[in-house]
Amino acid sequence: MTQDPSDSTIIDGVHYHQFDIVIVGAGGAGMRAAIEAGPGAKTAVISKLYPTRSHTGAAQGGMAAALANVEEDSWEWHTFDTVKGGDYLVDQDAAEILAKEAIDAVIDLENMGLPFNRTPEGKIDQRRFGGHTRDHGKAPVRRACYAADRTGHMILQTLFQNCVRLGINFFNEFYVLDVIMSEVDGVEQPAGVVAYELSTGDLHVFHSKAIIFATGGFGKIFKTTSNAHTLTGDGVGIIWRKKLPLEDMEFFQFHPTGLAGLGILLTEGARGEGAILRNASGERFMERYAPTIKDLAPRDIVARCMVKEVAEGRGAGPNKDYVYLDCTHLGAEVLETKLPDITEFARTYLGVDPVTEPVPVMPTAHYAMGGIPTNVNAEVLRDNTTVVPGLYAAGECACVSVHGSNRLGTNSLLDINVFGKRAGNNAVAYVQNAKFLPLPEDPAVFVRDMIEGVRNNPGTERISVLRKELQEEMDTKAQVFRTDESLDSVTKTITHLRDRYMNIGVQDKGRRYNTDLLEAIELGFLLDLAEVVVFSARNRKESRGGHMRDDYPDRDDENYMKHTMAYLTGDPHSSDAADHIRLDWKPVVMTRYQPMERKY
Amino acid sequence: MSQTIDAPRTPVRPARKKGINWEKWGWIYMRASGVILVVLIFGHLFMNLIVGDGVSAIDFAFVGGKWASPFWQWWDVAMLWLALIHGGNGMRTIVNDYARGKMTRTILKGAILAAVAILILLGTLVVFTFDPCPAGQPADLLPSFCAA
Amino acid sequence: MSTATIDAPAPVDDALKPFIVTLIVRRFNPELDDEPKWVDYDVEMFSTDRILDALHKIKWEQDGSLSFRRSCAHGICGSDAMRINGRNRLACKTLIKDLDITKPIYVEAIKGLPLEKDLIVDMDPFFESFREVQPFLIPSKKAEPGKERIQSVADRARFDDTTKCILCAACTSSCPIFWTDGQYFGPAAIVNAHRFIFDSRDDAAKVRLDILNDQEGVWRCRTTFNCTDACPRGIQVTQAIAEVKQALMRGKP
């Protein structure tokens, strides 16, 4: 399906292409942007996978929008829930846009062909989801539009189908590894990207006026994660290495219901349909922690309560290390029609039938709230206010910030559609008047050196060993509960692993489909990002949303009601993270809602 | 070099020519003829093997007697045509599925066509030109009406 | 309810005892080999592990050059379709306990598409035939601005099965017709055409039916049911193809 653009040229073994807009990543955000960009400008979508392999497809439960198809609802309530769910660290202007444009985003998808579940009147059906309430927290509301428990799959397929309809140029299995920056009037601006073609090992330079990053998250810094093996934060890492800032990296969401031991996601929609979390004695423990909305409290709260139950000895199983998600009272019909995929996951991977038995679950690393800072137009920021002209980001890799310190379920599928669309539209508007910037003499030199450096490194360390150690350390020391001590310890581990990373050796020296080399480069990004996550987390001495500090258990609005901005300032290989990372703050935009205690 | 095993798919597909869609009618023919053949064959077997004295009654006179009636002539001719074309088309399908070379395919399909055509011609000829009362044969081998 | 909770079986019981499993993988490095070759690997596995885990173990602990695609690792992304003991399966959905481990497990790339390296094949021809069936909604008139198209629950259910397709190619590459005739559209393309032909919101069923009425279209299907057996999403592929044939006979969905 890779298009072979006839206008590409080969100079010194490097392929050169020219496109007005280059979109990096072919998941939900990337393809949503492409649907806007494709008809308006010459557009290429570059992905290290085939588009339909993207992890948007693994999203299950739904996409929130105040359609009010089944009960009274308003986008203003949705805005409030998003702000409160994010523990008030949400930029409220952005949240308002998200909630308002949600309605059109869902209708757009339906018009494109997405097969939503329907109400008896034939309208889009909606279900309950964690943290979504009527009238500012009074009761759970049916707001999530869904297609069984495969909403993400349907979104990904629908977007891909429409890209096919529009004849979008895809470059599949091309791994983007660098953004080329050129200086214009003393301002650094992107002039294109450099990609490594996995099937041949060739390098490709994509000369472009605008670039949209939609590369997804980096959940693979953790061991137990719902994220795909390929979610290694490459896009976020590239931006970081270009010395552009990253925002709110300490906030990582742990989804309460991952299959115990495996991390495979079981949608919150299960609880939306009425499933209940129970501890070893069968107690519905969420009643104690969130008496109003119980099991439908936001994810950070539920995840912490689960870990607490286990820590206090009320866990189930031979090692007392998980709790149960009880769906047995829902009946076979609800499970088979509304939650068929998760029913199958439990049967396949744990041999547990949710119709008759409760399913062992534990929190799993799920979503990065932080990432590349952007404004509400999806333009990437180089500091708190200045945009980088021609550079856009959308989806999980970006931080607008609509999710604050904790994302509400169903808001991510919304995020990719609302801000993916905005990124596409704004990029089209931008390229109408922008020029192609001159490329440096050998734009691929950095990537060539990086790849050949890894390929020919005579080292002895194995990638898998380093990665495993990183992931296990992050799981034990930087997960749902963090302390200064644990974060300090994992910082040291990362520094040590970075040293060992200099001594890696890949066994596959070939050029074609060298996945050994690929994993080595991905590990480099993981190490960089894990360091930023931990460094930012140490600096935030409070507990808020997805970031929970045992040593600072309370939210501290006086000192920390602001976004973290991390900058790479020096040699990333210097031994002390403080030598090369500088942290700064960015104010939170508040419009309607003043911070309140977060109770459910 | 990468194509060391199975034949790769050629992405260029020639546009379908207008006119009769043989694959579709072939497919429909197989189903329709199949249903009719079930009736014809079981009818044939019932008449020949079960009715009256059953299998022991079959001799020249029995066949001659049957083919004296246009009903049975057409029954058997229908069976002949439907079955041979059904079988021939099935063989063609198998050749299409399993014969790799273009040459092999052409030869095999030509052979199938020839066999079907010859058998249909011969069979039809026999059924319609069959003489139930050949001259100079002992009467006990001939159908009873020959004596008249 | 609470009794059920207490009596629930521990899912990790068997998982505590690892054992050695032999995998025989069909390797091919286009830069070194003229022909693919079978290579044996012994790996220590738990019964609840997946074939994907075994391949990862080989790659991460024994031979880093073993190449295969994978992403989500739980049967949603469709990257890792391969032939396991002669049957097309997703490596991430095939558990060791469901295989006979007294014998070696044979793993090779899916058939019918050009082999690139080890377990990786060129997927472009597969996606090309997907694109040819016009797999996107073609309504005859625009929806009312800001409004969804109305569709009854029954109309939505009509094509539910075929919306599950993840384009992993397990069905198409299990089809004996496709093995010998690469021009055949293949089950996956027909499934994706079916998804739109039977969508009440779509008005271009005729166009797609015309495409599939081709000599290389649905009539090539021999109903061997290999595709239905191979589908990791449980789609009744052969039935979907038969429904398209029926629609062709009627001339409408």
Contact C60, C71 (CB under 8 A): no
At B79-94, the pLDDT tens digits run: 999 999 999 999 998 8
Q: Answer yes or no: do C178 and B7 touch at CB < 8 A.
A: no
Residues in chain C: 253
Percent of chain C clearing pLDDT 70 (strictly above): 94
Give the distance, in angstroms, between the CA of residue A523 and the centroid of all CA atoms in the same chain. 17
Query: What pLDDT, on a 0 to 100 scale, did the predictor assign at position C1?
Result: 38
pLDDT mean across residues, chain A: 95
At A548-568, the pLDDT tens digits run: 999 999 999 999 999 999 999
Q: Answer yes or no: do C8 and A110 touch at CB < 8 A.
A: no
Backbone phi and psi for residue A71, each to the nearest 5 degrees, phi listed first: -155, 165
Q: How confident is the model at residue B4 (pLDDT cuts 50, 70, 90)?
A: very low
**How many beta carbons lie within 10 A of that of residue A146, not counting itself?**
26
Residues A140, A211, single domain; the answer is yes
A555 belongs to the catalytic site: no
Mean pLDDT of A231-236: 97
At A438-453, the pLDDT tens digits run: 999 999 999 999 999 9
Q: What is the nearest CA distance from A340 to chain C, expressed in angstroms? A: 11
In terms of pLDDT, which residue wins out, A597 or A522? Answer: A522
Q: CATH classification of C124-250, choosing from 1.10.10.60, 1.10.1060.10, 1.10.630.10, 1.10.10.10?
A: 1.10.1060.10
Contact A302, A256 (CB under 8 A): yes
In terms of pLDDT, which residue wins out, B2 or C11? Answer: C11
Q: What SS3 class is residue A154?
A: helix
Residues A89, A187, single domain; the answer is yes
Distance of alpha carbon C195 from alpha carbon C138, whole angstroms: 12
The amino acid occupying position B80 is: L
The predicted model scores a pTM of: 0.92
Mean pLDDT of A453-482: 95
At C151-168, the pLDDT tens digits run: 999 999 999 999 999 999
Residues A99, A30, single domain; the answer is yes
Tell me what ipTM this predicted complex has.
Answer: 0.94
Query: What pLDDT, on a 0 to 100 scale, did the predictor assign at position C8?
Result: 46
Mean pLDDT of C118-147: 94
At A111-154, the pLDDT tens digits run: 999 999 999 999 999 999 999 999 999 999 999 999 999 999 99
**How many beta carbons lie within 10 A of that of residue C44, not counting itself?**
12
Helices (H), chain C: 2-7, 51-57, 124-132, 153-158, 176-180, 187-197, 205-212, 226-230, 237-250
At A570-595, the pLDDT tens digits run: 888 887 888 999 999 999 999 999 99
pLDDT mean across residues, chain C: 91
Residues belonging to chain B with any Cβ–Cβ distance to chain C shorter than 8 Å: 1-11, 13, 16, 21-24, 26-28, 93, 96-98, 100
Q: Answer yes or no: do C11 and A350 touch at CB < 8 A.
A: yes
Distance of alpha carbon A358 from alpha carbon A356, whole angstroms: 7
Q: Read out DSSP for A467-535?
A: HHHHHHHHHHHSSSSB-HHHHHHHHHHHHHHHHHHTTB--S---STT-HHHHHHHHHHHHHHHHHHHHH
Residues A372, A410, single domain; the answer is yes
Q: Is residue A118 part of a domain?
A: yes
Distance of alpha carbon A184 from alpha carbon C187, whole angstroms: 53
Contact A543, A482 (CB under 8 A): no
Q: How confident is the model at residue B134 (pLDDT cuts 50, 70, 90)?
A: confident
Give the annotated binding-site residues of A for FAD. Answer: 25-30, 47-62, 234, 396, 412-413
Query: What pLDDT, on a 0 to 100 scale, did the predictor assign at position B148?
Result: 61
Angle (CA) A378-A383-A389 rounded to 5° is: 50
Query: What pLDDT, on a 0 to 100 scale, did the predictor assign at position C4?
Result: 42
At A161-213, the pLDDT tens digits run: 999 999 999 999 999 999 999 998 888 999 999 999 999 999 999 999 999 99
Query: What pLDDT, on a 0 to 100 scale, did the predictor assign at position B13?
Result: 55
Query: What pLDDT, on a 0 to 100 scale, did the predictor assign at position C13?
Result: 52
pLDDT mean across residues, chain B: 84
Q: Is residue A6 part of a domain?
A: no
The CATH class, in words, for B29-132 is mainly alpha
Residues A458, A340, single domain; the answer is no
Which residues 55-84 of A have a C-beta within 8 angstroms of C? 55, 57-58
Residues A21-49 as b or e (16 or more Cβ within 10 Å = b): bbbbbbbbbbbbbbbbbbebbbbbbbbbb
Contact A420, A112 (CB under 8 A): no
Give every CB contact of residue A590 below 8 A, 6+ residues apart in sequence.
A92
Query: What pLDDT, on a 0 to 100 scale, did the predictor assign at position C2?
Result: 40
Q: Is residue A334 part of a domain?
A: yes
Query: What pLDDT, on a 0 to 100 scale, did the predictor assign at position B3?
Result: 36
Distance of alpha carbon A396 from alpha carbon A369, whole angstroms: 7
Distance of alpha carbon A262 from alpha carbon C122, whole angstroms: 30
Residue C237 pLDDT greater than 60, yes or no: yes
> Which of C3, C28, C71, C207 should we substitute to test contact with A (largest number of A Cβ atoms within 10 Å)?
C71
Query: What pLDDT, on a 0 to 100 scale, did the predictor assign at position B9?
Result: 44
Q: Are strands A372-373 and A398-399 parallel, antiparallel or unpaired?
A: parallel
The amino acid occupying position C5 is: T
Give the domain ranges of chain C: 14-121, 124-250
Residues B9-32 as b or e (16 or more Cβ within 10 Å = b): bebebeeeeeeebebbebbeeeee
Residue C251 pLDDT greater than 90, yes or no: no
Residue B11 pLDDT greater than 50, yes or no: no
Q: Which CATH superfamily is domain C14-121 in?
A: Beta-grasp domain (3.10.20.30)
Backbone phi and psi for residue A481, each to the nearest 5 degrees, phi listed first: -120, 135
At C42-93, the pLDDT tens digits run: 999 998 899 999 999 999 999 999 999 999 999 999 999 999 999 999 999 9
Residues A390, A486, single domain; the answer is no
Backbone phi and psi for residue C55, each to the nearest 5 degrees, phi listed first: -65, -40
Q: Do C14-121 and C124-250 fold alike per CATH? A: no
Please tell me which of the candidates A53, A348, A349 has its beta carbon nearest to residue C77: A53
At C12-36, the pLDDT tens digits run: 455 568 999 999 999 999 999 999 9
Catalytically annotated residue among A150, A271, A299, A544: A299
At A277-328, the pLDDT tens digits run: 999 999 999 999 999 999 999 999 999 999 999 999 999 999 999 999 999 9
Residue B5 pLDDT greater than 80, yes or no: no
- Closest residue by Cα to residue A48 from A232, A185, A230, A174: A174
Residue A6 pLDDT greater than 80, yes or no: no
At A317-374, the pLDDT tens digits run: 999 999 999 999 999 999 999 999 999 999 999 999 999 999 999 999 999 999 999 9
Q: How many domains does chain A have?
A: 3
Give the domain ranges of chain B: 29-132
Q: How confident is the model at residue A600 (pLDDT cuts 50, 70, 90)?
A: confident
Contact A579, A567 (CB under 8 A): no
Contact A392, A425 (CB under 8 A): no
Domain that holds residue A37: 16-251+367-432
Query: What pLDDT, on a 0 to 100 scale, did the predictor assign at position B96?
Result: 82
In terms of pLDDT, which residue wins out, B51 or A416? Answer: A416
At A525-538, the pLDDT tens digits run: 999 999 999 999 99
CATH number at residue A282: 3.90.700.10
- Structure token pair of residue A558: 């006086």
Q: Note whether A258 contacts C: Cβ–Cβ < 8 A.
A: no
Q: How confident is the model at residue B16 (pLDDT cuts 50, 70, 90)?
A: low
Compare all CA atoms of chain C with the CA of A112 and give the residue at the minimum distance.
C137
Q: What is the nearest CA distance from B23 to chain C, expressed in angstroms? A: 5
Give the sheet arrangement for strand A126-134, strand by strand.
A63-64, A139-145, A126-134
Q: Is residue A502 part of a domain?
A: yes
Tell me, letter by letter, the H, E, C secondary structure of C120-169. Answer: EECCHHHHHHHHHCCCCCCCCCCCCCCCCCCCCHHHHHHCCHHHHCCCCC
At A402-430, the pLDDT tens digits run: 999 999 999 999 999 999 999 999 999 99
